[in-house]
């Protein structure tokens, strides 16, 4: 008999199909080894593919392994939310008092389920922030095509490591045309996932921006096989950490994906010392994946 596993494709950070960031979710994947998971992730060719397993850590509701087309990640944001939607909708995990706990290589990640809005939020894992040398910041600025002095970059580790920088305004963010080969070379040399940039957004009322998000974000990870991540949860976690460090603690909504035809919306909430990153999710594909 042909081996198959339950499979969903979930659009994350959107309440409308095909405008967010899709993640492929393979359920009941305990029988797959890492090599098989990587082959499947390479085949789906999405920014991430996840594999739901039985948990081994006390207190966890399920375990998750997360793969890009060419590597495994210890944690990633939109795959975490999309996988949580999959396990809830298929009855493989049930929230307790509106909470779930995901086990992954980065540790245990707490999730909150918003019963009213149907949104899911993950709590940003423990992070580390490091400086970036001036020469490396200048190289990143050249690869992004920025004129003038390079922005202040920080290497922020939330599982994935993003070189994170605030730019002048949203139009500057949206106009970037990065040299992906150069960004990939820099990312590999510095052993980071990629580069995330953000900036405040001015008044704008047309198109997918009409719901007035507060900032614009873009994330580039060509070294991980993802030239531009459509809507990046871990990248937005790094943005939230950088904003908090600069004294900005007001909740906000970020927009990401417009540069590549998406309209992702990411809600960020500051709760004492915790940061929650979340949004809507939509199941777009449901079926079975042939594994042999």
Question: What is the length of the chain?
Answer: 292
Determine how β-strand 120-123 pairs with β-strand 274-279: antiparallel
Q: Which stretch of DSSP H or E encloses residue 21?
A: strand 21-26
Instruction: Please answer whether residues 38 and 51 qualify as being in contact, where contact means their C-beta atoms are separated by less than 8 angstroms.
Output: no
Of 129, 125, 137, the closest CA to residue 234 belongs to 125
Of 11, 7, 82, 78, the closest CA to residue 37 belongs to 7
How far apart are the C-alpha atoms of 262 and 234, rounded to whole Å?
A: 18
**48 in active site:** yes
How far apart are the C-alpha atoms of 270 and 251, rounded to whole Å?
A: 6
Instruction: Please answer whether residues 240 and 268 qualify as being in contact, where contact means their C-beta atoms are separated by less than 8 angstroms.
Output: yes
- For residue 246, what are the contacts with CB-CB under 8 A and spacing of at least 6? 166
Q: Which of 48, 123, 154, 228 is catalytic?
A: 48
Q: Which residues are catalytic, by number?
A: 48
């Amino acid at each position: 008999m042909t081996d198959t596993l339950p499979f969903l494709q979930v659009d994350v950070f959107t309440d409308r199909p095909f405008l967010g960031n899709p993640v492929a979710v393979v359920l009941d994947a305990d029988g797959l080894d890492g090599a098989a998971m990587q082959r499947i992730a390479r085949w789906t060719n999405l920014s991430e593919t996840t594999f739901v397993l039985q948990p081994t850590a006390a207190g966890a509701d399920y375990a998750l392994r997360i793969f890009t087309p060419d590597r495994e990640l210890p944690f990633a944001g939109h795959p975490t939310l999309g996988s949580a939607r999959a396990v809830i909708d298929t009855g493989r995990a049930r929230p307790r008092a509106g909470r779930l706990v995901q086990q992954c290589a980065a540790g245990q990640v707490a999730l909150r389920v918003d019963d009213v809005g149907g949104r899911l939020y993950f709590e940003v894992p423990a992070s580390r922030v490091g400086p970036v040398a001036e020469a490396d910041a200048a190289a990143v600025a050249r690869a992004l095509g920025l004129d003038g002095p390079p922005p202040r970059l920080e290497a922020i580790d939330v599982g994935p490591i993003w070189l994170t920088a605030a730019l002048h305004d949203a139009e500057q963010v949206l106009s970037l045309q990065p040299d992906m080969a150069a960004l990939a070379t820099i990312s590999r040399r510095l052993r980071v996932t990629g580069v995330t940039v953000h900036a405040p957004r001015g008044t704008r009322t047309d198109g997918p921006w009409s719901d007035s998000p507060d900032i614009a974000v873009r994330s580039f990870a060509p070294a991980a096989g993802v030239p531009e991540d459509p809507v990046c949860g871990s990248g937005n976690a790094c943005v939230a950490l950088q904003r908090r460090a600069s004294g900005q603690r007001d909740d906000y909504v970020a927009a990401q994906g417009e540069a590549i035809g998406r309209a992702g919306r990411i809600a960020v909430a500051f709760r004492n010392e915790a940061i929650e990153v979340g949004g809507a999710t939509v199941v777009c594909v449901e079926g079975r994946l042939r594994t042999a």
